[in-house]
Structure 1
Amino acid sequence: MIPAEPPVRPPAAAARGSARPFFVVFGVTIVLLIVGGVFLATSTKHAFRESFSFVGSAIKPTSASSPPAPDRAAREAAPAGAVFDPLVAAQAPVPVPAGQPKAEPVDRKIVYTAQLDLVVKNLDAADKQVDELLTANGGRLVSSESRGDAGSKRTATFKLEVPAGKFRAFMSALRPLGVPERDKVDSDDLTDEFVDIQIRVKHLKAEEDNLLKLLTERARSVEESLAIRRQMLPIREQIEKAEGRQKYIEAKAAFSTVTLKLREEANYVPPTADPPPTPPTFGDRVAATFGGSWSLLVTVGEWIALVGVAVAPWLPFVVPLAFAGVWVSRRRAGRATPPA
């Protein structure tokens, strides 16, 4: 038998058969590229979010107990169906979570100074009223000066200090004492400086505590101890300097200073001098002379009596010695005289 010959394919069919594996490989490659791109994009986005959240946490740490933002808190607290207004939400107080302490109100450190010039009718009466007002408000007098020349207006200048809480009431009580010529009030807010000093002292003390802990736990030799103490010395100096400034601000803010000047309305007329004394009469001079002589006689008698009192204790010793001396002298005189 003669074997049958295989059928001969046309050229177009042969070309289509050889190109089919190529399309399959190409399609699978495209699908793999798409799947890989999607996976790469997803992983890149996740890594970017993680890095962004890490940077944000490094810049501003978050806490589970931190209060919610005002907008979010207002949205959560708003009733259903209500329209959210961001301006109203910004003015609303931020709710504080339970168990978290509220921030202490800032005690502002404001130094008040005032200059008040008054024209008064009676300077002496106004001076007395100022002293009464100063005592009633717990103030103190720093300095005072009064001037009054004949034919000019008397003036008095006072530098007063009153507690800051009573400054306005004290000024309101001073103004009715006369007619104001000058009324000036200045203020100096030292709150920011005071808060900065507080923060600085806190950080310096923390650094000092760290060095002290290092000194007690890590120092192994005298050289290491001296080195740590040298580092602590400038820190302690800065702490003392900052605390001194802090106390100065507290003292300045505790009292307000008022410079008060009073000027009398009328010209000053000094009081008339006393008339010269009248000359004494003859009788007055006789009485004065007799009185002086009598006083002298009494004084001399007193001195004689005192001398007698002083000599009396010595008489028991002096009198026998005197008699013995007289007897001896007479005996010698009798022996020396020749017989007649």
Structure 2
Amino acid sequence: MSRLNIILVFIAIIFLAGCSAQDEEKAAVTESMKDVEYSNDIGEAEDSSKEESITEAEESTTNPTISQRKIIHKANISANVKELTVAQEKITEKVSKYNGYIVESNNFQESDSRSHGRMVVRVPEEHFETFLSEAEGQVTKVLERNITGEDVTEQYVDLESRLKSKRAVEARLLVFMESAEKTEDLLKISADLAKVQEEIEVIVGKIKYLDNQTSFSTIELNFYEDRVIVPSIENKELNTWEKTKKQFVQSVNALLMIGSWIIVFLLGNLPVLLVIGIVSFLSIWFIRKRRKDKE
């Protein structure tokens, strides 16, 4: 092979190596551009959804006619009632009447003359005021009445906006997943999609909670029943005959105990008593004899 041929072969090898390097560089640039495009598309989808949602949120919060306001109503009522069980039965009927439900119902016997009943019920928001009025009609005296309302409209609209934004990102990720060719790209998109779907589930859970809290109002009722106890005469507790027999037996036992004590004292101290008796007898005899001698 001539020197010229060797030079030509060498030049051809260099040229082919340069072309291969350029192809690899172009492929890398194309891949990076795809990644940038993927990130930009996701970011644009989320940003555009956020802008639309912010606009809707501003309109909803400033104009009540566009979106119904979300308010969480709660009430706490304490009252005296004539009969606790009757009052609780009436409340149960009214809860059923307005398609509500009972969360809790308890009775407590605080003393012989005082009973306490506690009920926690939930009724549809549209029947809140009506139910309160009818519930207060079942009591004799209202001791405490506390009503609160929390406006969560802005929070609710914000959650809806975030949900819409995340839905848009989820849809874009699904499109990228269908067009993904490499395994590493598919894994990356799957991880991003799982994260977005988890965020969507959390937001949906919060929205459902606010829906439930604003659709049904919570009412706590504390009823107190005070009773006047009049003592009655119960002949059964007199037991005159039984008490008489008991007292007679106790008296006999007392006499027997005294007699027993006397017998024990006399017999136990008999030697001492004999000595004392003899000495006493001799002393009396001696004194009487001297008196006779003097006379």
TMscore range, shorter length? 0.5 to 0.7
Q: Secondary structure at the match of 1:138?
A: coil
Q: Are the aligned partners of 1:151 and 1:267 in contact in 2 as well (CA < 8 Å)?
A: no
The aligned amino acid for 2:215 is A
The aligned amino acid for 1:107 is Q
Distance in 2, matches of 1:209 and 1:150, equals 65
Query: For residue 185 of structure 1, what is the aligned residue in structure 2?
Result: 147
By relative contact order (CA 8 Å, sep 6+), the higher-ranking structure is: 2
Q: Secondary structure at the match of 1:183?
A: strand
Q: Are the aligned partners of 1:148 and 1:268 in contact in 2 as well (CA < 8 Å)?
A: no
Q: Are the aligned partners of 2:78 and 2:221 in contact in 1 as well (CA < 8 Å)?
A: yes
1:213/1:125 CA distance change after superposition, 3 Å: same
Q: Are the aligned partners of 1:116 and 1:180 in contact in 2 as well (CA < 8 Å)?
A: yes
Q: Deviations over 1:231-272 (max 9, x none)?
A: 22211111111111111111111111111011113346899x
The aligned amino acid for 1:206 is A
Q: Does residue 125 of the first structure (1) align with residue 49 of the second (2)? A: no
Aligned residue runs from structure 1 range 138-217, under 5 A: 138-148=99-109, 150-178=111-139, 179-217=141-179
- The CA deviation at 1:202 is 0.5
Q: Secondary structure at the match of 1:169?
A: helix
1:220/1:112 CA distance change after superposition, 3 Å: same
> What stretches of structure 2 of length at least 5 have no aligned partner?
1-63, 237-295
Q: Are the aligned partners of 1:154 and 1:267 in contact in 2 as well (CA < 8 Å)?
A: no
Q: Secondary structure at the match of 1:177?
A: coil
Distance in 2, matches of 1:262 and 1:145, equals 10
Query: For residue 250 of structure 1, what is the aligned residue in structure 2?
Result: 211
TM-score normalised by length of structure 2: 0.54
Q: Are the aligned partners of 2:159 and 2:203 in contact in 1 as well (CA < 8 Å)?
A: yes
Over alpha carbons, which structure has the higher Rg? 1
Range that drifts further, 203-212 or 262-271: 262-271
Q: Are the aligned partners of 2:78 and 2:143 in contact in 1 as well (CA < 8 Å)?
A: yes
Q: Are the aligned partners of 2:116 and 2:222 in contact in 1 as well (CA < 8 Å)?
A: yes
Aligned partner of 1:228 among 168, 186, 189: 189
1:208/1:268 CA distance change after superposition, 3 Å: farther
1:121/1:207 CA distance change after superposition, 3 Å: same
Distance in 2, matches of 1:151 and 1:108, equals 48
Distance in 2, matches of 1:270 and 1:214, equals 86
TM-score normalised by length of structure 1: 0.47
Q: Deviations over 1:139-196 (max 9, x none)?
A: 2111111122553311111111111111110001011222100000011111111100
Question: Percent of pairs identical after alignment?
Answer: 26
> What stretches of structure 1 of length at least 5 have no aligned partner?
1-102, 276-340
Aligned length: 172
RMSD over aligned CA atoms reads 2.7
Aligned partner of 1:261 among 212, 217, 222: 222
Q: Looking at secondary structure, tell me which structure has more helix per residue.
A: 2
The aligned amino acid for 1:221 is K
Distance in 2, matches of 1:223 and 1:270, equals 88
